[in-house]
Chain A
Amino acid sequence: MSIRLKREVLTADVLIIGGGTAGCFAALTLSENSELKVIIAEKAGIRRSGCLAAGVNAINAYITEGQTAEDYVDYAMKDAAGIAREDLLLSAARRFNKVTADLERLGLVILKDEKGNYVTRGKRNIKINGENIKPILADAVLQAPNVTVLEHVTITDLLIDNNEVKGAVGFHMEEHIAYEIQAPAVIVSTGGAAGLYKPNNPGFSRHKMWYPPFNTGAGYAMGMKAGAEMTSFEMRFIALRCKDTIAPTGTIAQGVRAKQVNSKGEVYEEKYGITTSERVYGTVRENHLGNGPCYLHTEGIDKGTEEDLLKAYLNMAPSQTLKWLQNDRTPGKEDVEIAGTEPYIVGGHTASGYWINTNRETTVKGLYAAGDVAGGCPQKYVTGALAEGEIAALDIIKKGRGVEITDQTSFVADEKIREYESILNSTEAFFSAEELEEAMQKVMDEYAGGISTNYQFNEKQLMLGEEKIVEITELTKDLNASDMHELMFVYELKERLIVCRSVIAHLGFRKETRWHSFQENLDFPGPDEKYRKFVNSTLKDGTFILKLRDIGKEIRYEHTDF
């Protein structure tokens, strides 16, 4: 008997796609400041979904005493080698402290000194106990008036009419239900994209990665398909992490001032520079030169410090504490081995994502982007995601657009739902989504600058990579799914493949090397002033159209010339 999905048509004033950091905070802002009816569609349960699942142990974007929002902008601009939007950075930075205070009011524990001031960790960080940061946010959302949370509902496509958003379509991951959600304003807050490249642990522990493996680039892909302009997909993010567990290194590096050393015990970090990409690059180079493995030098730290580190990691990356304790190889006894991760696309750390205006509206009318899915604003981290959720929500309230209820399943949604059904009812599939995902990751690793090529690539490799990704994309047409969860796997793969094509197109368009490791083009090994510009793209009739956009304080990043 063939599967038919039950169709539910829902309406809201605002649809939020993704109930992570930015999405939850946008919902709270809408609920507190308006009567607008809000729906959050979240593919997991919101208490632990998104980047904050395991917790965080610092607020990494905060304006500490003596610093200004402008200082933050300068820092982020420099770290990004000039490829960032000052307007976005400034508007986020001006809210960092406000949203932190909001979180504290909701119950977040922040370390204070005897005078009651927050304790800082460097110029831009404060120390917190963030193990429960996501449940704190989620509980507030679940109690907020006018907010409905649809859990285990995944959105695959936006509904667009004449470059204006009308809602979105998706399905329940467990039950045979398809949703058409109609809304005149939509905030995309799905996070960035992991799982594009072959990961550090490609076997059983393939999902033991830095970024949530469940952030599959859905928001990027749906925006591209909707014709939204995107920016900086060539500015990949590669994290420097504790080897195997892929746990954070910042807590050790900044917390106990541990230096990066090679196997000869030489401190190498100054040799290569200390921007985010240079720290990764230095480690890659040292390994390449035969000086590996590389470590954070922790041997000899005292017992008390070691104990505190064990606890700090339990609050954000418990596998690291387990690794240290399982055979008593604790950081005081042994240096901590470090490695670069596979590349990710993530707008909270680099500038990849939707091209937005200062109010976080995309080039599609009524469609907003916040958090890791939004581009142009690197190093925004948790507080930046909260700030962007708030900015988007406030702009929607200001514009006060009314809901246009039709209650009729639209033609486009209907077509999409029939596509879901045909995948569920198909029995002929040569390959599984899992096999094609592995094939995609291998291609990206070998031809688009993954771990195995030291993150480097040349134009010929990119061309081959593009060809192979297109071939794999063709194979996805025959995929089938035996249940709703597998149906989601099929769509996640399709999303990743679109993002992969965008990454390859962007990497090839920037004919220079702007950042070591993040975008290291061996045909053009140095920087070129001509490319001190954004690389932007739109997907049109299946092809990415790329162009350069100017950067500068004097430029108004409005959408009028799109």
Chain B
Amino acid sequence: MSIRISKEACVGCLACTRVCPGSLIKEKDGKAVIKYPRDCWGCASCVKACRFGAIDFYLGADMGGNGTVMNVSAEGAVLLWKITRPGGAVRIIEVNGKNSNKY
């Protein structure tokens, strides 16, 4: 379980460094980097905080991960979760924050 931060997409706003509950993301040369990738809890706080789509999270191989990545963007109260498989196939799931879970 960990995250990848795209150097190209990261603008260096460092929003992710402020929300990581383990303070695992640090600034390096004006960009955010995950300093301790093995210490990631997988809470996705950083993925939600990034407004530039620069952070993906993925399942480690030891969790059965196959290289599929997930990120999330917000449109008002709606979170759009985007799952991209290794071949490029994309699935988007919308979760409206104003609606509650049924389960």
Which one of B44, B68, B79, B81 contacts A54 once the chains associate, using CB atoms below 8 Å? B44
Which residues does chain A contribute within 8 Å of B2, judged by CB atoms?
Answer: 204-205
With A47-B18, A53-B45, A203-B62 already in contact, the answer to whether A127 and B102 are too (CB < 8 A) is yes
Determine the distance from Cα of A398 to Cα of B72 in the docked complex, in whole angstroms.
45
Which one of A58, A315, A323, A485 contacts B59 once the chains associate, using CB atoms below 8 Å? A323
Check A214 against B22 for contact (C-beta < 8 Å).
yes
B95 at interface, CB cutoff 8 A: yes
Interface membership of chain A positions 128-154, coded 1 if the CB is closer than 8 angstroms to chain B and 0 otherwise: 110110000000000000000001100
Check B83 against A57 for contact (C-beta < 8 Å).
no
Query: Nearest-CB distance from B50 to chain A (Å)?
Result: 13
Determine the distance from Cα of A132 to Cα of B103 in the docked complex, in whole angstroms.
17
A451 at interface, CB cutoff 8 A: no
Check B1 against A127 for contact (C-beta < 8 Å).
no
Of the stretches A79-87, A303-311, A523-531, the one at the interface is: A303-311
Q: Is the interface of B mostly helix, strand, loop or mixed?
A: loop
In the complex, number of A-B residue pairs with CB atoms less than 8 Å apart: 175
Check B93 against A48 for contact (C-beta < 8 Å).
no
Determine the distance from Cα of A256 to Cα of B81 in the docked complex, in whole angstroms.
23
Which residues does chain A contribute within 8 Å of B101, judged by CB atoms?
Answer: 57-58, 111, 127-129, 251, 308, 311-312, 315
A536 at interface, CB cutoff 8 A: no
| Count, chain A residues at interface, CB 8 A | 59
B28 at interface, CB cutoff 8 A: no
B88 at interface, CB cutoff 8 A: no
A110 at interface, CB cutoff 8 A: yes
Check A131 against B41 for contact (C-beta < 8 Å).
no
Which residues does chain A contribute within 8 Å of B72, judged by CB atoms?
Answer: 318
Residue of A nearest to B44 (CB): A318
A124 at interface, CB cutoff 8 A: no
Check A321 against B43 for contact (C-beta < 8 Å).
no
10 A–B contacts from the bound complex (CB under 8 Å): A45-B19, A48-B49, A53-B43, A111-B101, A127-B102, A129-B97, A129-B99, A212-B41, A318-B44, A323-B64
Extra contacts besides A43-B23, A131-B79, A207-B42 (16): CB < 8 Å: A47-B18, A110-B100, A129-B98, A201-B62, A204-B60, A205-B38, A208-B42, A213-B22, A213-B41, A256-B103, A311-B101, A312-B102, A319-B1, A321-B70, A322-B59, A326-B83
Top 8 closest pairs, chain A to chain B, by CB = A255-B103, A111-B100, A326-B68, A48-B45, A208-B1, A54-B43, A53-B43, A205-B60
Binding site for A on B (CB under 8 A): 1-2, 18-23, 35, 37-45, 49, 57-66, 68, 70, 72, 79, 81, 83, 85, 91, 93, 95, 97-103
